[in-house]
Amino acid sequence: MLKDLAKTLTFAALHLATGFGVSYAFTGSVVVATGIALTEPAVNTIVFFFHDRAWRRFPALNRRPALGPGLGTTGTRAA
Q: Are 32 and 19 in contact (CB under 8 A)?
A: no
Amino acid in position 30? V
pTM: 0.62
Supply the pLDDT for residue 75. 58
In a domain, 49, yes or no: yes
In a domain, 20, yes or no: yes
| Cα 22 from Cα 47, distance rounded (Å) | 21
In a domain, 29, yes or no: yes
In a domain, 66, yes or no: no
**In this predicted model, what pLDDT tens digit does every residue of 14-38 receive, in sequence order?**
999 999 999 999 999 999 999 999 9
| Cα 37 from Cα 59, distance rounded (Å) | 34
Q: Within 10 A of 37 (CB to CB), how many other CB atoms are there?
A: 19
- Count of domains observed in the chain: 1
In a domain, 73, yes or no: no
CA angle 60, 66, 69 (to 5 degrees): 165
